[in-house]
Amino acid sequence: MKHILNQLVQLQELNFALSEQKASNPEARLTQLEESINKLVEKLPEDISSRYLRMHQRAPLVVVPIGQNNTCTGCGIAVPVALVNEVHKSEQIHSCENCGRFLYYQENSPRRVPKAPGAKVELPSGIARFSDVALMLPKLAASSRDDAVKELAALMAAQGFVEDGDRLTELALRRESMISTAVESGLAFPHVRNVEGGSLTFALGLKESGLKFGSPDGETTKIVFFIVIPTPASAFYLRLLAGLVNTFRTAKARNALLKCTTPEKMWQTLTSLTSETIS
């Protein structure tokens, strides 16, 4: 049954990829991606595929990992230990007894670093809800897509936003192998879903000379947003993506960001440019 579970996870990722492409370019023709989704649905047992499609009509998140505290990351309800053990075996397809989502066991789940007890909790607005000046990198040293992802994941780990940059890199590149997260206008949005704890967060790196990221227009990528997405924020991520793409649709906005030479200037420019597109 493990191969069926892997197909379900892949199907969900392809559906998310389809939604991402629509959010970044509503006019794009996505026939090839839609065909890949249909072929994967046909490979699944009929009872499993019909159940997946029925649940997907209600919510985009249908297949979720069990959290490190033995909860369903879809609804947050505790999963009985006996069921956790059965999910770990992967001998059958199992579901959450509360929300009905398909469950799988993910080794070494990526985690956000929790705030220290007693730490002051701030309520930022705009782009400050999703990033920080410490996560701005004006000059990526990377010369390839993989190295850029690794560099940004390492920055998030070094600044104390995540626990394991190497694990995030592995999962992000696995996602890239399915379909590139690069879009037109020199932008790319590599990301990792199902990160435990914390909130939707991104690091931003610039490469003025460009990187080969697999953009649909064949152009190099110069602006890279590396995003970690907690399970509950999977759908909200699409709103952030659409807002960022809308912000940098013009060459004027992209050039203003690419001219920045310090993290502080990047943050100031990003905050200004997104003041009306990211709420």
- How confident is the model over 117-150, as pLDDT tens digits? 444 445 578 999 999 999 999 999 999 999 999 9
- What are the structure tokens assigned to 238, written together? 């699409």
Shared domain for 64 and 32, answered yes or no, is yes
Q: Give the span between the Cα atoms of 104 and 111, in whole angstroms.
A: 17
Rounded alpha-carbon distances, angstroms, from residue 53 to 23, 37, 104: 21, 11, 18
Q: What local confidence, expressed as pLDDT, does residue 69 receive?
A: 83
Question: CATH number of the domain that 49 lies in?
Answer: 1.10.287.1490
Nearest alpha-carbon partner for 92 in 213, 185, 1: 1
Q: Which of 74, 104, 134 is the last residue of a domain?
A: 104
For the chain, the domain total comes to 2
> Tens of pLDDT along 165-204?
999 999 999 999 988 999 989 999 999 988 877 789 999 9
CATH code where residue 171 lies: 3.40.930.10
Q: Which domain holds residue 168?
A: 126-273
Q: What's the whole-number mean pLDDT along residues 258-267?
A: 98
For residues 279 and 269, give the distance between their C-alpha atoms in angstroms, rounded to a whole number.
Answer: 16
Same domain, residue pair 197 and 89: no
Share of the chain above pLDDT 90, in %: 65
Whether residue 242 lies inside any domain: the answer is: yes
Residue 17: per-residue pLDDT: 86
Q: How far is CA 86 from CA 20, 83, 89, in A?
A: 33, 5, 5
38 CA to centre of own chain: 23
Pick the closest to residue 68 from 13, 107, 97 (CA basis): 107
